[in-house]
Amino acid sequence: MAQPAFKPNYDENKMPAYTLPNVLQLPGGQPVTSAKQWSTVQRPAILQLFKEHVYGQMPGKPRVIRSVVRSVDEQALGGKAIRKQLTLFFGNGDDAPNMEILLYLPKTTKPAPVFAGLNFFGNHCVSNDPGILLSTRWLPNRNEQVVTNRATEKARGMQASRWEVEELIAHGYGTATVYYGDLEPDHATGWQTGIRTTLKDELHIAPEAWSAIGAWAWGLSRLMDYLETDPAVDAKRVMLHGHSRLGKAALWAGANDERFAMVISNDSGEGGAAIARRMFGETVERINTSFPYWFVGKFKSYNQNENAMPTDQHMLLALVAPRPLYVASAQDDQWADPKGEFLGAKEAEPVWTLFGKKGLGVSAMPSVDQPVGQTIGYHIRTGGHDITPYDWQQYIRFADKHFRKP
Ligand code: GCU
């Protein structure tokens, strides 16, 4: 029998009753009272809950990681930037699983802080720069840009509006990106050709012990491995960012890997920054039905059963503490539950307080286009599900505040 169509709830008055787990309460009921207790007991325990119930295990590095330079242009973007392209191999030999890295750096003598994130359509999608190598991987078909699952020349710059490469360079930041499909193509059987299969023996992990979001997040940590080896990069100032499903992956990577200095969630919604128990817009059941491979099997047991989860997404955001965290929403992106994203940040705030840091510094959700926050930044902007120049202006300002102190 056909399933009835999913009808998202967009009415605050129809919210189910819920009680959130307290981020600062130990399993035995005692409160977490010190930053040390958070770091040594509560943080590892919460991370473990997310591994078991939501995103799966996070394997370590392969034994061999090799970067092979594909091209370097010292005069990229009209002479304003250096462009490097590399392949990062996970193992010996040209046929080892690998991912392609695109890196732009400002022309400075000092190591540059860098914004790092995955892209949706191949590295060529982030800029019209004709020097970017066209990805040869599987891509989701789109108009004349991706035909029979391969990029055409028309795919260049197809998501350039979401990247602001030149703006970042002008502000002294580099930008590093990898196509998420290099880790795992985003479809139901993508795991069969992605690293969950090709690296399963190397990483000693069964494909079903982790998830597509896990594989994408793992790739971000490997990108960090590379950035740590590049003397032109200040690896202590790498700002991780991601939009939507890639925002979920960025949060999961930032939770696992504390080398990232700051984490930005752009419209990450369900399974990202939004409180799942609100069941507003997309729900656990809906995301598990549309994208079952994004999460581990156990997560399905919470379909319409959110109150039984030992986690909620404020706990994921809390794992970024005490590092700077930015959560952004968009007014017309109700599917991602902007209010739930704000509340995710708000409910995570006590952990920053424990570290003596000011978090959001507001008790109520701000109005549109009114960014707030100290160590946790938040805004809801006008417009829909996207990354816009407005979003980037806030991220640059926030990074400047935390990492460019005079
Ligand atoms: C779908 C999905 C969301 C996801 C979004 C995206 O809308 O339901 O969970 O964030 O795609 O990645 O753009």
Q: Assess whether the previous peptide bond of 322 is cis (omega < 30° from 0).
A: yes
Q: Identify the pLDDT of residue 240.
A: 98
Secondary structure of residue 151 in the 3-state scheme: strand
Confidence band for 405, pLDDT divided at 50, 70 and 90: low
Ligand 1 binding pocket includes 270 (Cβ within 6 Å): yes
Kindly report, residue by residue over 33-54, the tens digit of the pLDDT: 999 999 999 999 999 999 999 9
- CA 161 – CA 164 distance, rounded (Å): 7
Q: Which residues of 107-147 form beta strands (DSSP E)?
A: 112-119, 146-147
Of 405 and 278, which is predicted with more confidence? 278
Q: What is the pTM of this model?
A: 0.98
**Residue 248 in contact with residue 268, Cβ under 8 Å?**
yes
Kindly report, residue by residue over 78-128, the tens digit of the pLDDT: 999 999 999 999 999 999 999 999 999 999 999 999 999 999 999 999 999
Atom of ligand 1 nearest to the CA of 120: 12
Kindly give the pairing relationship between strand 81-89 and strand 98-106.
Answer: antiparallel
Residue range 25-38: average pLDDT?
93
Dump the DSSP string for 278-322: G--SS-HHHHHHH-GGGS-GGGGGGTT-GGG-S--HHHHHHTTTT
**Angle at the Cα of 263 (from 9 to 207), degrees rounded to 5?**
75
Active site residue 244: yes
Pick the residue whose CA is nearest to atom 7 on ligand 1: 335
Q: Identify the pLDDT of residue 406.
A: 61
CA of 244 relative to ligand 1 center, distance in Å: 6
Long-range contacts of 366-375 (CB under 8 A, 24+ apart): 368/331, 371/397, 373/326, 373/398, 375/322, 375/323, 375/324, 375/325, 375/402
Confidence band for 26, pLDDT divided at 50, 70 and 90: confident
Confidence band for 27, pLDDT divided at 50, 70 and 90: confident
| Residue length of the chain | 406
Active site residue 314: no
Q: Identify the pLDDT of residue 2.
A: 65
Residue 384, token pair as written in the block:
């829909």
Ligand 1 binding pocket includes 274 (Cβ within 6 Å): no
Residue 11, token pair as written in the block:
């009415």
**Residue 47 in contact with residue 256, Cβ under 8 Å?**
yes
Ligand 1 binding pocket includes 284 (Cβ within 6 Å): no
Give the mutation target among 335, 341, 387 for probing the ligand 1 site: most ligand atoms within 8 A of CB.
335
Kindly report, residue by residue over 162-187, the tens digit of the pLDDT: 999 999 999 999 999 999 999 999 99
Ligand 1 binding pocket includes 350 (Cβ within 6 Å): no
- CA 239 – CA 221 distance, rounded (Å): 12
Kindly give the pairing relationship between strand 112-119 and strand 66-75.
Answer: unpaired
Ligand 1 binding pocket includes 287 (Cβ within 6 Å): yes
Contacts of 174 (CB under 8 A, 6+ apart): 103, 104, 105, 106, 112, 113, 114, 115, 168, 232, 233
**Angle at the Cα of 181 (from 177 to 185), degrees rounded to 5?**
165
Proportion of the chain above pLDDT 70, given as a percent = 99
Q: Identify the pLDDT of residue 176.
A: 98
Place of tokens 């590295």: 123
- CA 283 – CA 171 distance, rounded (Å): 38
Confidence band for 3, pLDDT divided at 50, 70 and 90: low
CA of 245 relative to ligand 1 center, distance in Å: 6
Q: Identify the pLDDT of residue 169.
A: 98
Indicate whether 215 pLDDT > 70.
Answer: yes
- CA 366 – CA 292 distance, rounded (Å): 34
Atom of ligand 1 nearest to the CA of 268: 10
| Helical segments of 335-387, H only | 338-354
Indicate whether 23 pLDDT > 90.
Answer: yes
Write the CA distances from 126 to 101, 249, 364, integer angstroms.
12, 18, 35
- CA 274 – CA 383 distance, rounded (Å): 18
Indicate whether 1 pLDDT > 60.
Answer: no
Cα Rg of the chain, angstroms:
20
CA of 252 relative to ligand 1 center, distance in Å: 16
Q: Identify the pLDDT of residue 299.
A: 98
Atom of ligand 1 nearest to the CA of 248: 10
**Angle at the Cα of 193 (from 143 to 269), degrees rounded to 5?**
60
Contacts of 70 (CB under 8 A, 6+ apart): 85, 86, 87, 100, 133
Candidate list 211, 221, 244, 329, residue with the active-site label: 244
Q: Identify the pLDDT of residue 4.
A: 74
Kindly report, residue by residue over 312-322, the tens digit of the pLDDT: 999 999 999 99
Proportion of the chain above pLDDT 90, given as a percent = 97
Rounded to the nearest 5°, which phi and psi values hold at 213?
-60, -40
Kindly report, residue by residue over 342-390, the tens digit of the pLDDT: 999 999 999 999 999 999 999 999 999 999 999 999 999 999 999 999 9
Contacts of 399 (CB under 8 A, 6+ apart): 113, 115, 173, 239, 262, 324
Atom of ligand 1 nearest to the CA of 246: 12
